[in-house]
Every structure is written in C-alpha cells, then in structure tokens.
Amino acid sequence: MDYGDQMRFDKRLIDRNLTRGVITREEYQRHLNRLKDLQNESEILGVDLVHIDRRIPSSPKTDEDEL
C-alpha cells in the first residue's frame, strides 16, 4: 500500500472520501477485510483520572465578574 492508498483509507478522511467519490463503499470494505487482526498484540492501559476543580471561563473576564 503506497502513501496515496494510506490517505484514501485514513480513518479521519473516510467519510469525506466516500462522499466525494474518492473511494466506494466496496473498496472500503475490501480494505477493512484485508487488515490484520492485532487484538492479541494489544495492551490494556490503566489510567488514573484526576478531577481538577477549576472554573474555565467561556468568555473573557469582565469587571462584572469581580462582583
């Protein structure tokens, strides 16, 4: 698969490429069927989420915010 094919089937561009006719649904399905199953090579990552209680303003601060 060359660089052009990689971009045609790039996950971020699939909807656009299908809509614009760059690829057909049949081509996309053939591409998906050719992909190697890498599930057994994957690794589960543990993530600790930390909540930061900080107000994020949706608009610039004004003098009224001081009141």
pLDDT digits (tens, 9 = 90+) for 4-61: 778 899 999 999 999 999 999 999 999 999 999 999 999 999 988 887 777 766 766 6
| pLDDT at residue 65 greater than cutoff 60 | no
What pLDDT does residue 52 have? 75
What pLDDT does residue 29 have? 97
Q: How far apart are CA 23 and CA 14, in angstroms?
A: 8
Domain ranges of the chain: 1-36
What pLDDT does residue 28 have? 95
Q: Is 31 exposed, middle or buried (0-12, 13-18, 19+ CB in 10 A)?
A: middle
